[in-house]
Structure formats: C-alpha cells, structure tokens
Chain A
Amino acid sequence: MIIKPYTHWFGLIVVLIGLLLPVHVFASIFVVVHPDRDINNISPVQVANIFLGKTKRLSNGGLIIPVDQSRDSHTRNEFYSKLLNKNENQMNVYWARQVFTGRSQPPVQVTNCNEVRLLIKDNPTFIGYIHSDCNDIGIKVILRIP
C-alpha cells in the first residue's frame, strides 16, 4: 500500500499540535456551595466581595462564610489571579490594610480541594473554590471561572 508523503506530514503535524497544546488550557476554577443553598449562580465581583471579607451575604441576603485554600496552593493563586488579576503580594497588600486597621482577618484555610468539598458537603454556610479537575460530588458549582 502506497501512502502519499504529504498525508504522513499532515498526520505528524496534527499530533505535534496536539502535544503542544497544554492540558490546562481547558482547566478552570469552580466556585462551590452546599447543594441545598438557594443560589444557582453568582457574579465574579460578588465572589470577590465575599473572599475579600467585604460582605458576609449573598445577593439573596443569605449568610455565607468563605473557605480559602492554603497559601502554597496553585489553585489559590490561580483563583485570585483569574478573579482579581492579583498575585500573592498584591493580595497581601489588601490584607495588610484590613488586618492592621483591625477590620478583618483573611478567610480560614484548608489544604486542598478535597477538604473544601468535605467541609462544604457537611456545612451549608460555606463557600469555596476548587480546581475543575477535582471531585465535586456532594457540592454545587455556582460559577465557572475559565
């Protein structure tokens, strides 16, 4: 069987492009709450307001407490980078002003997305974020940050 040379090259190029595309292009961050919460979507600005400690309320008035991931977590840096376009130092500038003027303390932290899920699954007052690769069984996604 004779294979025309240009078909060879075409196939090879397709495979190479496929290899070059990084997997995380399709990754995103999910903002998650307990399935019983009477909220199905939320705006990125409202998520930011909650995680910056500016409000403890959802737009429907319900009480909500943010759960952060640990400082060395990639998901955390990705979350704040996508949500506010800020790196860790820029986030700390904000928190320095809050903490040293006695306004508020940063949200409580857990180590990984599975802990976020376990915490929220059992407790409807929390809001968290997980990487889209993480298991989201038992929790509800209300915002996808691409």
Chain B
Amino acid sequence: MPLADLINTFIAIIMRYHKLYSRWLITCLLLLPAVSYSDTSSDEVGSESFKPSFNKPRSDLHINGFLTVGVNHADPEVTSTNESYRSDLSFDTKAILGLQATYQLTSKFNVTGQIVSKADKDWGLDTDLDWAFFRYHLTDDLTFRAGRLRLPLYFFSESAEVGFSYPWVTPPSEVYVVPLFDYEGADFLYSMPTGDWIHQLQVFGGSVDTEILKASTTYGINLTSSSGPWTYRASFLEVNDAELNYPTFPQLESSFDIWDAIDYYAAAAIYDDGDWLLISELSVLDTGSSTVLFGKNSGYITIGKYIDHWLPYFSYGKSYTTNEAPSQVLFELPVEFPPFSIPVYSDILEFTTTSYSLGLRYNLNANTSVKFQWSHFTDFDGTGGRFFNLRFSNSTTDVDSVDTFALVIDMVF
C-alpha cells in the first residue's frame, strides 16, 4: 500500500534528521498519519457534493514559475557575492527562470520541487534544484518539511531570486550580501494567533554542502509576528564546523582554520498599508574569535509610496566589518615572473560601505512589473567597499564611489 510506504519513508527521514530515539515519540508519529488518513477520506466524501460548482475542479498539482529579464551597468565595474555589474550594458547578469511544482498527495501531505536557472557570464546556464522537499501537516497549526530547503536568514532570503516578490531590483546588498545557501535538513513551522496578531515560528536544522561552504551543522530559529500592515521578524542562525572555500583565494581554504562557529542575528520591520511601504532590516554577523573572518554589522531602510501602478522608492544602507584583528599575513600570493610572492594581509577583508538608491517599480499588469534602480555606493574609506574586485586590487584606495544601474522585468505565473 503506497500510503504505508510514504509513512515509512517519512519516519525514516525524521529519524535520520532528528535522531528521535524515544519510543513514545515514534509511536505518536505513527499514529498521526493514521488519524489524518481517516480525516482525508471523510473530507473527500463531503467535497463530492460541491465539486461540480467549482470553476475548475480542485487540482492536486500546482505549477508556478517566475521570470526575470533585465539589463545592468556599473561605473566602475564591480563584483560581489551574489551579483556582478560590468561596465558594458549586460543582459546576462540578470536573467533568471524558475519553475515550481507542488503535488498534493493528501490534504496533509505534499511534495514540492523548484528549479532555478540563472544566466552565467556569457550566457552559460547555471541550473539548480533549489528546493526539493515534502511537507506534512502535523496539526492545523504545525507543519513539518524535510528535504532541500533554503536558509531563512533574512526576510527575503528564501525568495531572493523571485524579483516580483519585493520592491527592489535586487534586495539591498548591504544585508543580502550573504550567498544564498540551500541546506539539507528539516524545519517546523508553527502558527499561533493571539487576537489580531499572528505569530509564526520557524525552527530549522541541517547541513550545507555547496562549492563555497560546507557546514555539517547549521540551525536556527525565527519568529514573524504580523497584524494588519505591520510585520516584525527576529531571526537567529548558527553555522558550525564549517569549511570555507573562497573561489578567489583557494590558498585560504587550507591555510587557516576559518572559524568554530559563526552566528547571524537579524531583525526586520515592515509597514505596508497599500499606500506607503517601509522596510528595514538590521543584521549582525558574529564570527567569535576568528582572526580571519571579520564580524559585520549591516542594515538598510527603504521607503516607498504606492501611486496607482507606480511605486517610487528610496533606500539607504550601510555595512562595515567589526572586531578587526591586528593585521597579519593571510597567505603568499605567487607571481610567476620575476618569481617572488606578495604577502596578502588580512586588511583586505576590512570594508565599509554606505549606499543610496532610488528606484521605480511600475506594474504592467497583475503578474508583471518593470523596475529601474540607481544605486550610489560610497564612503569606502580606502577599503574598496564591499566589492571584491576593488578590495583585492591595488587600485583600492583610488575608488570611493560606485554607481550601478539596472532595468528589469519581473513576472510570476
């Protein structure tokens, strides 16, 4: 019987990820699907009477997608963790196509997969199965998901590739500079209403295994409370036993024990009454006693005004490194001719950046928006700001401002 197999798989995965050895808990979990199965069958009998009145019969399969096509330009050319701007008008740095399928097996159980394709430099395609998980409603307020999920660090982290889901061309880079890490693991989502407020708690844990970062234990918790136009969110994330692989500097990987544990703390406040939009997020990265990886404070505030189909907005953002250790040699950079090596000091990891952005979102229709954004990054204090190519080059001190321009069309379907 397929349902029994599903239940067995479900329990096997729970045991694998959560090491639930205690017998009573497993017994409870065994009973839950049995109870829910009887619920489902009675629901289905009841629904027969109204099914014909639906426009379309309730579908078990939801296929959705998102698409972003755009062009950007920067002066001077800059690269950072998630984005790159060239000095020519480039179309290949912004194109994203995502497709998602959700299949509802029972009223309590569904599976979801999402494929995201991004254009690499010169149109090489970078395709990932970013989400692949099953979801089980343990109760009406508590759901469990397991599989490949995205780390829910900041408010828009999980939907950072879905341009349509936020006002900007890209989420403010001060805070969203962290690479978008997927993890393999599980989360619990719990929803609790008190009066007009809804509190949503998410607890998650798993392991990250990407080219840049390998971390065997990553876990965190966040709480989102919302009522009417207000939404607040507080979030914590810890990355343990990590190995970092800086693609720019492979020497770093082997020469240092990068850290024991790094902690992220983040807070967000959003006000959206349909006329005015206010978004602010603050983030603190605590790298503990690491001498190589610096801590970082960052934050931004965005204010926008909905005028019919237009949304003009302004953003201010700031980010800077903290707990800067005394300067030390990270590694020797070899030079071929004449043969010698240049010592690279930990100073290159220090930075400070302030940014001002002006943007405009125009809604072409219910599913499509066009956005234009101009960002001015400045006050680098000779560090090259948060841009790798400026920080790791000799011209660092010469550049004290960068302007980026982007025009995109975002749609969902």
Binding site for B on A (CB under 8 A): 43, 45-46, 48-49, 54-57, 59, 63, 70-71, 84-90, 92-93, 96-97, 99-103, 105, 108-111, 115, 118-119, 122-123
Taking a contact as CB atoms under 8 Å apart, the answer to whether A89 and B369 are in contact is: yes
Which of chain A's residues have a CB closer than 8 A to the CB of B365? 89
Write the chain A residue with the least CB distance to B192. A55
A45 in contact with B141 given A54-B198, A86-B274, A110-B53 (CB within 8 Å) = no
A49 in contact with B112 given A90-B306, A100-B162, A108-B54 (CB within 8 Å) = no
Kindly identify, within residues 168 to 214 of chain B, every residue whose CB is under 8 Å from any CB belonging to chain A.
189, 191, 193, 195-196, 198, 200
Taking a contact as CB atoms under 8 Å apart, the answer to whether A115 and B369 are in contact is: no
Q: Is B226 an interface residue (CB 8 A)?
A: yes
A88 to B368, CA, bound (A): 11
Which of chain B's residues have a CB closer than 8 A to the CB of A88? 366
Taking a contact as CB atoms under 8 Å apart, the answer to whether B165 and A102 are in contact is: no
Taking a contact as CB atoms under 8 Å apart, the answer to whether B50 and A96 are in contact is: no
Interface residue from B53, B198, B273, B363 paired with A49 (Cβ < 8 Å): B198
A108 to B59, CA, bound (A): 9
Taking a contact as CB atoms under 8 Å apart, the answer to whether A123 and B159 are in contact is: no
Which of chain B's residues have a CB closer than 8 A to the CB of A87? 363, 366
Taking a contact as CB atoms under 8 Å apart, the answer to whether A57 and B193 are in contact is: yes
Interface residue from A46, A49, A57, A96 paired with B66 (Cβ < 8 Å): A96
How many residues of B are counted as interface, with CB atoms below 8 angstroms from the partner's CB atoms? 52
Taking a contact as CB atoms under 8 Å apart, the answer to whether A46 and B196 are in contact is: yes
CB distance from B279 to the nearest CB of A (A): 12
Interface residue from A59, A96, A115 paired with B159 (Cβ < 8 Å): A96
Write the chain B residue with the least CB distance to A90. B274
> Can you spell out 10 A-B residue pairs with CB atoms less than 8 angstroms apart?
A49-B227, A54-B193, A54-B226, A97-B162, A100-B100, A101-B150, A102-B102, A105-B102, A108-B58, A111-B55
Which of chain A's residues have a CB closer than 8 A to the CB of B16? none
- Known: A92-B366, A99-B412, A100-B165; 19 extra A-B contacts, CB below 8 A, are A48-B228, A54-B193, A55-B191, A70-B55, A84-B274, A92-B412, A93-B165, A96-B159, A96-B162, A97-B158, A99-B100, A102-B135, A105-B62, A105-B102, A108-B58, A109-B55, A110-B54, A111-B55, A123-B46
Which of chain B's residues have a CB closer than 8 A to the CB of A48? 228
Residue-wise interface mask of B (52-87) relative to A, using a CB-CB cutoff of 8 A (1 in contact, 0 not): 011100100010101000000000000000000000
A103 to B98, CA, bound (A): 16
Interface residue from B49, B54, B200, B306 paired with A54 (Cβ < 8 Å): B200
Q: Is B145 an interface residue (CB 8 A)?
A: yes
Which of chain A's residues have a CB closer than 8 A to the CB of B369? 89
Which of chain A's residues have a CB closer than 8 A to the CB of B412? 92, 96, 99-100
Residue-wise interface mask of B (96-130) relative to A, using a CB-CB cutoff of 8 A (1 in contact, 0 not): 00101010000000001010000000000000000
A101 in contact with B55 given A55-B198, A96-B164 (CB within 8 Å) = no
CB distance from A142 to the nearest CB of B (A): 15
Q: Is B18 an interface residue (CB 8 A)?
A: no
Taking a contact as CB atoms under 8 Å apart, the answer to whether B162 and A122 are in contact is: no
Among A70, A71, A90, A118, max chain B CB count under 10 A is at A90
Write the chain A residue with the least CB distance to B145. A102
Q: Is B131 an interface residue (CB 8 A)?
A: yes
Q: Is B140 an interface residue (CB 8 A)?
A: yes
Taking a contact as CB atoms under 8 Å apart, the answer to whether A100 and B66 are in contact is: yes
Which of chain B's residues have a CB closer than 8 A to the CB of A54? 191, 193, 198, 200, 226
CB distance from B186 to the nearest CB of A (A): 13
Q: Is B336 an interface residue (CB 8 A)?
A: no
Write the chain A residue with the least CB distance to B161. A100
Which of chain B's residues have a CB closer than 8 A to the CB of A90? 274, 306
A99 to B100, CA, bound (A): 9
CB distance from A78 to the nearest CB of B (A): 14
Which of chain B's residues have a CB closer than 8 A to the CB of A97? 156, 158-159, 162, 165-166
Taking a contact as CB atoms under 8 Å apart, the answer to whether B64 and A71 are in contact is: no
A92 to B58, CA, bound (A): 20
Residue-wise interface mask of B (127-144) relative to A, using a CB-CB cutoff of 8 A (1 in contact, 0 not): 000010101000011000
Taking a contact as CB atoms under 8 Å apart, the answer to whether A63 and B165 are in contact is: no
Interface residue from B98, B135, B145 paired with A100 (Cβ < 8 Å): B98
